[in-house]
């Protein structure tokens, strides 16, 4: 879909011209199927969707429960970015999708590092898998799951519980893909700094107290790598802010 090395290369295209969508009724994983298509020559912008997944992928090898009624899709992008900048792809994806849903009147927030939340419960998640040469990521599959009318666990919520703003899965899919494209376009054209600032305003963890190495800290935002910024206001003498990479600390839900 885009190359970070070609600033301004993206034209504003209708979604059907930007993305090439393959729809399936049932898959083990949209990410897995998309990687198979990529190995067979699929181009950047290829999308795989499924009405149901039997082995959807979550963080740390967990399975994402994917019963019928949710939106499950994976998108192939060619970011051509340094592997150290991969967290930026997560940030621009989360910001773009959350912003697109908020434009539809759905007050979505971002829970670090890659969840979309509504009323302090999980609405959806983003999982990025990459492949590349040496230190450059030239292939990325962005897996996205959004609860629409599917049953959810206690910590989850679906859109039907809150609003009728999105009436069909096709409408939700278009909204999510539009948001993803918007976030990636902005990253390419404006860099990561404005996205980081806007992600901070949507970060539901800001102000949350966490324990790091036995010390109480307060979450103040994210940095341009997608790391969590934590300050320790009560330590004497005051300690500098630290940045925690994804996986360094686990932030649960409030339910």
pLDDT of residue 25: 95
Place of tokens 């999708």: 97
Say what the pLDDT of residue 65 is.
61
**In the prediction, which pLDDT does 13 show?**
41
Query: Parallel, antiparallel, or unpaired for β 71-77 and 63-66?
Result: unpaired
This prediction's pTM: 0.89
For CATH 3.30.930.10, the residue range(s) in the chain are: 15-202
Superfamily per CATH, domain 15-202: Bira Bifunctional Protein; Domain 2 (3.30.930.10)
| Structure-token pair, residue 170 | 């096709």
**CA–CA distance from 45 to each of 38, 42, 53, 185, 218 (Å)?**
11, 9, 21, 13, 39
pLDDT at 135: 86
Question: What pLDDT is recorded for position 117?
Answer: 97
Splitting the chain (255 residues) into consecutive groups of 10 residues, what average pLDDT does each group show?
34 60 94 96 96 73 73 94 91 98 96 96 95 86 96 92 84 96 94 97 96 91 96 80 92 77
What is the per-residue pLDDT for 55?
74
Contact between 115 and 62 under an 8 Å Cβ cutoff? The reply is no
């Amino acid at each position: 879909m885009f190359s970070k090395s070609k600033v301004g290369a993206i034209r504003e295209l209708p979604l059907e011209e930007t993305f090439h969508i393959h729809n399936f009724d049932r898959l083990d994983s949209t990410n897995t199927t998309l990687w198979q298509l990529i190995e067979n020559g699929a181009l950047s912008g290829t999308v795989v969707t499924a009405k149901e997944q039997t082995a959807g992928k979550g963080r740390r090898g967990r399975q994402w429960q994917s019963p019928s009624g949710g939106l499950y899709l994976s998108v192939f992008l060619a970011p051509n970015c340094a592997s150290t900048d991969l967290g930026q792809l997560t940030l621009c994806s989360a910001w773009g999708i959350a912003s697109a849903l908020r434009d539809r009147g759905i007050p979505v927030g971002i829970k670090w590092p890659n969840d979309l939340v509504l009323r302090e419960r999980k609405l959806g998640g983003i999982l990025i898998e990459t492949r590349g040469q040496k230190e450059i990521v030239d292939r990325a599959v962005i897996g996205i799951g959004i609860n629409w009318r599917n049953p959810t666990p206690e910590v989850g919520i679906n859109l039907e519980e809150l609003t009728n703003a999105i009436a069909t899965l096709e409408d939700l899919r278009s909204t999510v893909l539009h948001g993803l494209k918007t976030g990636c376009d902005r990253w390419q054209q404006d860099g990561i700094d404005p996205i980081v600032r806007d992600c901070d305003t949507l970060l539901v963890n800001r102000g949350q107290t966490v324990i790091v190495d036995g010390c109480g800290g307060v979450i103040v935002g994210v940095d341009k790598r997608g790391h969590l910024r934590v300050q320790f206001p009560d330590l004497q003498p005051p300690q500098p802010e630290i940045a925690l990479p994804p996986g360094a600390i686990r932030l649960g839900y409030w339910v």
